[in-house]
Amino acid sequence: MQIAYLGAGTWGTALANLLASNGHTVKAWDRNQQMVRLLNRTRKHPKLNFELHPQIHYVETLEEAIRGADLIVESVTSSGIRPVFEEIKRLFGPALPPIVITSKGIEQGTGLLFYDVLLEILGEEKKNSIGCLSGPSHAEEVIKNLPTSVVCSAYDPELIKLIQTAFNSPHVRVYPNSDLKGILFGGSMKNVIAIACAISDGFGFGDNTRAALMTRGLHEMRKLALAIGCRNETLFGLSGLGDLFVTCSSTLSRNYRFGRLIARGYSLEKAKAEIGMAVEGAYSCVSAYELGKRWDIPLPITEATYRILYEGLSPEAAVKALFTREIKEERL
């Protein structure tokens, strides 16, 4: 296939390289034109020490990337997905190939998952032409061909098969799952819990604390997921528990590294600048906090993380508040 790839961050670069290695021709675009020119010149992403596949061609316009494509794969930022697809609609109208979402986030203000954002922009007639790919998958390991399992979803079974065919490789195993919303939600909210775990680790609270945050964080994810129409069991799969584990326990995760910087006393903006890439958990934390209020669902870990990042609450005070809450029966 000819594939239009939108986004040249580390994740976008790793997946574009995977697709090219699978025999597809990839035209890759990024809003950062300086990065596009750098990748064309050096054939190496500055944060990934790896020679890129020759079948990846970096282009400077959306129109050039998408024209003639059989499939669009996006890896843009949470805040950038709406303006990018509004521009795509302006350029092409409804005449678009199937779209695969790989970004992980929940839109601020609307609380929409990215599938619903794209439907709002492109129209309900595209509901069976949008799928997603998610799961525990560090870019730094995918590009080195380390064994990885992910999950894909769509409402059209044929699109699920297409996504599997495009991404499956000897090193990347793609499982199908028809719960599109659950896959998108799990991959988004786990970043919020990862920031909480990293802040805890940064203060030396230990493995016991991290285990508590991950377990109770998964409980928060499940409660909110059910409220917005996801399947409960999806949160125990690759895009829920699997992605939660890898993101909460690895310095390869930018969300985890971001949380460690917050624990060291960095401000929100200074920590983002130090990471140098989008920190989706900091963005989705606002959305998850807003959704909890909208649905009247207590999300104590999410709320504590939000207050640390945006209201100046100290991590020590947040932990004290969490451990002095009323204890209720554990329900799974």
Structure token pair of residue 123: 């129209």
The catalytically annotated residue of 190, 270, 272, 320 is 190
**E strand or H helix at 132:** strand 130-134
**E strand or H helix at 148:** strand 148-154
Q: Is residue 154 within 8 Å of 182, Cβ to Cβ?
A: no
Residue 57, number of CB atoms within 10 A of its CB: 15
Q: Is residue 14 within 8 Å of 43, Cβ to Cβ?
A: no
Active site residue 190: yes
- Alpha-carbon Rg for the chain, nearest whole angstrom, is 19
Q: How far is CA 102 from CA 264, 286, 289, 311, in A?
A: 31, 20, 22, 30
- Residue 275 and residue 309: Cα distance in Å, rounded? 15
Write out the catalytic residue numbers: 190
